[in-house]
Chains A and B, each alone.
Chain A
Amino acid sequence: MKKLLSLTLVVVMALSLLTGCAQPAPAPSGEPAAPAEEEVIKIGVFEPLTGANAAGGELEMEGIELAHELYPEVLGKKVDLIVVDNKSDKVEAATAAARLVEKEKVVAIIGSWGSSLAMAAGDIVRNAKVPAMGTSCTNPLVTQGNEYYFRVCFIDPFQGVVMSNYAFNGLGAKKAAIVQEVSNDYAVGLAKFFTDNFKKLTGDENSIVAVANYNTGDQDFTAQLTNIKAQNPDVIFAPGNFTESALLIKQARQLGIKTPFIGGDTYETPEFAEIGGDAVEGVVFSTFFATEKPITSESTKFLDAYKAKYPGKEPAAVTALGYDAYLILIKAIEQAGAADSASIHKALLETKDFQGAAGVVSFDENRNAIKSAVIKTIKDGKFTFMDVVEP
């Protein structure tokens, strides 16, 4: 009996220890958030800083940090960025988001590169009623049915349509081939909407002459490209991650394929031009902003600050989106005049014509950014402005 007692004691002590240290925050979750009287405003960031998507995470962090340096304060309070790594892992991404919401008590969240990781946070931000601002997660599912998820980028359908219009009207293409990164939701979505609209434009069910797939991380595309070469298309649409796309186009040129390549906003990454070298000259893609023709005054500010901080480097499109994601939250806090989640959420829903570095943003009913697309090409190794397409 004595033993039983001691055992019970031990277990109870262990449990109370667990629950005790687990609950440092006294605020019960049911009541409304404490009035914003703290000295700092906490904004959470969850990005893949390690693992397979580390490159994308790093690019976006550059933008978020830059914006934080330029706008370190709002409502006279310091803004604290709480960055957590989601390891490019979905399970970890959900835990990271829960940590931001519960442990760090952030008022809003930014992230993440990769729609799959953003979706992992979806339920958490909705349940906690903390608004989340997606950066470059273009999968329509991210914001669908989740009134707390927003994003500063346009989504796949728009971009697919823009590029198919360009292929048909701008290039006069009648036959198109598609090479897609089949394990990447972004690429699959873009390819699908491109296909649908291109078929409609040409009025020809067979206007897509070839569809080839590859997987994330693949490096050899010669087989797919040789097949496409045999079909002799007028244009090749190749949505995918920038590393793979650069290698793909390089190999296409090496195989003597002279067909123009077009793609999406992932192309606007300095590494794309660097890895691709001469091969990506003349590649056309849709993206968010242009250096030569700054859409907003914020674009100029962003570009100047970026060049000052990273001399000799060009910002990537997703860097600008990271910048905007931070800035739009700051503006929402300013507009709301309060820094609690509910006010920010309300202000975000009302946001209209936000002047971001990567374009003017208003949200549609699914909280996706409605913004114009910029069509760019690569000329002498530089991203060069071609055209603006209004939504």
Chain B
Amino acid sequence: MKFYLGGVYMTLELFLQHLANGISLGSLYALIAIGYTMVYGILRLINFAHGDIFMMAVYFAFFGVVTFGMPWYVSFIVAIALTGILGMTVEALAYRPIREAPRISILISAIGASYLLENLAIVIFGGRPKTFPQVPIFTDMVQIGNIHIQKLTFMIPAVTIALLIVLMYLINKTKSGMAMRAVSKDFETAKIMGVNVNRTISFTFGVGSLLAAVGGIMWGLKFPSILPLMGVMPGIKCFIAAVIGGIGSVTGAVIGGFILGIGEILLVAFLPELSGYRDAFSFILLILILLFRPTGIMGEKISEKV
């Protein structure tokens, strides 16, 4: 089967390969977008530092394996735990002191935290790229017909779904989850009801950073070159994914991730001459969503409080 679309020669096989690439990328976006959406859901704050926490996680995992010679699974777990702590630290230092401040100050603080993490990473880790260790059970390729798919492509959605189930349980069935939901609805009321707001927010940040760490490690396995500024673009892209899905909604983030990943790939597939505009595409998608469906695909309606 062959067909032409927009002047581009396309076979079914080729299309399926593109689709596989899109799913592979989209599932990564989805995984990281979940962390974004969780933090946003509670604080109504774009955590600009999320991308940099993600970057730190990749470095932690790298040093675990390469410098300390840990087996990959130990190193990954240590890295994930450390990143959780890092996330909570960032929250305590950069966000907690100005919780009552105007939103603009909080946003600026978030950007400042991100900037600081990047500069620290350059000083500590150096500017030269490092090679993330390759773990064959993740990084090997599988061939179906003529379509090549990395094993990770199957594992990332599995990890995402597993995390999603755990998260759903955490949010909907546990006491901490109840506190998180309460805080996300209304700070003040939650406080009156006896919820420890600071601890809940800190906990959310921890969980969000754990997710960023898992996403980061998967990212490192798929794109094994790690740099201090590697978190910037994924950070923005995954935020876009979270907005598309409806920020605050965990399932929405997953859907948004897939839409963005597959959309990016198909744009290049069908309009190759626009391949240089790929990043612009993500932003155009974001702006369109914001204009026509500001709450995203799965988002709930937020009414303006007077």
A230/B14 in contact, CB under 8 A: yes
Checking B127, B224, B225, B278 against A49 with a beta-carbon cut-off of 8 angstroms, the contacting residue is: B127
Count of chain A residues near B, Cβ 8 A: 40
Cβ of B69 under 8 Å from chain A: no
Segment with Cβ contacts to A, from B143-151, B160-168, B203-211: B143-151
Q: Which residue of B lies closest to A242 (CB)?
A: B129
- Say yes or no for B269: interface residue by CB 8 A criterion: yes
Q: Does B241 contact A (CB under 8 A)?
A: no
Q: Are B233 and A217 in contact (CB under 8 A)?
A: yes
Q: Once the chains bind, are A224 and B129 in contact (CB under 8 Å)?
A: no
The reply to whether A212 and B225 form a contact with Cβ atoms under 8 Å apart is no
Alpha-carbon distance between A170 and B219 when the two chains are bound, in angstroms: 37
Name B228's closest neighbour in chain A (CB-CB): A54
Q: Is B148 within 8 A of A210, CB to CB?
A: no
B278 near A218 with CB under 8 A, answer yes
Contact with A along B104-146 (1 / 0, CB 8 A): 0000000000000001001000111111001000000101001
Cβ–Cβ < 8 Å partners of B126 in chain A: 54, 58
Q: Judging by beta carbons under 8 Å apart, are A274 and B131 in contact?
A: yes
The answer to the question of B181 belonging to the interface, with a C-beta cut-off of 8 Å to chain A, is no
Q: When the two chains form the complex, which single residue of B130, B131, B146, B265 contacts A256, counting CB atoms closer than 8 Å? A: B146
When A215-B278, A218-B278, A256-B146 are in contact, do A226 and B233 touch as well, CB less than 8 Å? Answer: no
24 A-B interface contacts by CB (under 8 A):
A51-B229, A54-B126, A54-B127, A57-B127, A58-B127, A58-B128, A213-B276, A215-B278, A215-B279, A217-B232, A218-B233, A218-B278, A220-B223, A222-B21, A222-B265, A223-B18, A223-B269, A230-B10, A243-B225, A254-B141, A256-B141, A271-B130, A275-B131, A275-B224
CB distance from B264 to the nearest CB of A (A): 7
Q: Nearest residue in A to B10 (C-beta to C-beta)?
A: A230
Q: Which of A53, A223, A277 is the most central at the interface, judged by chain B CB atoms within 10 Å of its CB? A: A223
Shortest C-beta distance, B21 to chain A (Å), equals 4
Instruction: Please pick, from A53, A223, A229, the residue contacting B275 in the complex, using a CB distance under 8 A.
Output: A223
User: Are A59 and B229 neighbours in the complex by a CB distance under 8 Å?
Assistant: no
A226 touches B21 (CB 8 A): yes
Q: How far is the CA of A51 from the CA of B143 in the complex (A)?
A: 39
Given A217-B233, A222-B265, decide whether A271 and B131 contact each other with a Cβ distance below 8 A: yes
Q: Check if B11 is an interface residue, CB within 8 A of chain A.
A: yes
Would B128 and A226 count as touching, CB distance under 8 A? no
Indicate the member of B25, B119, B127, B148 with the most A CB atoms within 10 Å.
Answer: B127
> Which B residues are in CB contact (< 8 Å) with A243?
129, 225, 227
Cα separation A267 to B171 with both chains bound (whole Å): 48
A223 touches B21 (CB 8 A): yes
When C-beta atoms are compared, the residue in chain B nearest to A278 turns out to be B134
Interface positions of B from 260 to 301, Cβ below 8 Å from A? 264-269, 272-273, 275-276, 278-279
Q: Which residues of B are found within 8 Å of A230, using beta-carbon distances?
A: 9-11, 14
- CB 8 Å contact bits of A183-223 with B (1 = contact, 0 = none): 10000000000000000000000000011111101111011
Q: Which residue of B lies closest to A223 (CB)?
A: B268
Q: Are A55 and B272 neighbours in the complex by a CB distance under 8 Å?
A: no
A297 at the interface (CB under 8 A from B): no
Q: Compute how far the CA of A250 lies from the CA of B139 in the bound complex, rounded to whole angstroms.
A: 11
Q: Please judge, given known A-B contacts A50-B119, A52-B229, A54-B228, whether A256 and B128 are in contact too, CB under 8 Å.
A: no
Nearest residue, chain B, Cβ from A50: B122
**In the complex, A246 Cα to B224 Cα: how many Å?**
9
Answer yes or no: B89 CB below 8 A from chain A CBs: no
Query: Which residues of chain B are near A52, meaning CB under 8 Å?
Result: 229
**B249 at interface by CB-CB < 8 Å:** no
When chains A and B are docked, how far (Å) is the Cα of A220 from the Cα of B275?
12
In angstroms, Cα B51 to Cα A217, docked, is: 14
Q: Is A247 an interface residue (CB 8 A)?
A: yes
Interface residues of B in 11-61 (CB under 8 A from A): 11, 14, 17-18, 21-22, 24-25
Cβ of A70 under 8 Å from chain B: no
A74 within 8 A of B: no
Interface 0/1 of A57-72, CB less than 8 Å to B = 1110000000000000
Q: Is the Cβ of B227 less than 8 Å from the Cβ of A227?
A: no
The residue on B at minimum CB distance from A180 is B276
Do the beta carbons of A224 and B272 come within 8 Å of each other? yes
Query: Per a CB cutoff under 8 Å, which of A214, A250, A256, A275 touches B278?
Result: A214
Chain B: CB-nearest residue to A227: B272
Complex A-B, nearest 5 residue pairs according to Cβ-Cβ distance, in ascending order: A54-B127, A223-B268, A213-B276, A222-B21, A219-B223
- B129 with A275: CB separation less than 8 A: yes
Task: Find the B residue at minimum CB distance from A57.
Answer: B127
B residues 189-234 in Cβ contact with A at 8 Å: 219, 223-225, 227-230, 232-234
**In the bound complex, what is the Cα–Cα distance between A203 and B3 (angstroms)?**
30
B188, chain A: closest CB distance, angstroms: 42
**Given A222-B24, A271-B129: A256 and B148 interface contact (C-beta under 8 Å):** yes
8 A Cβ contacts from A261-281 to B: 271, 274-275, 277
What sequence of 0s and 1s flags, for each residue 149-190 of chain A, a beta carbon within 8 Å of any chain B beta carbon? 000000000000000000000000000000000110000000
Specify which chain A residues have a CB less than 8 angstroms from the CB of B219 in the assembled complex: 219
A9 within 8 A of B: no
Inter-chain contact B134/A277, CB cutoff 8 Å:
yes
Using Cβ atoms and an 8 Å threshold, which residues of chain A touch B22? 223
Residue of B nearest to A231 (CB): B9
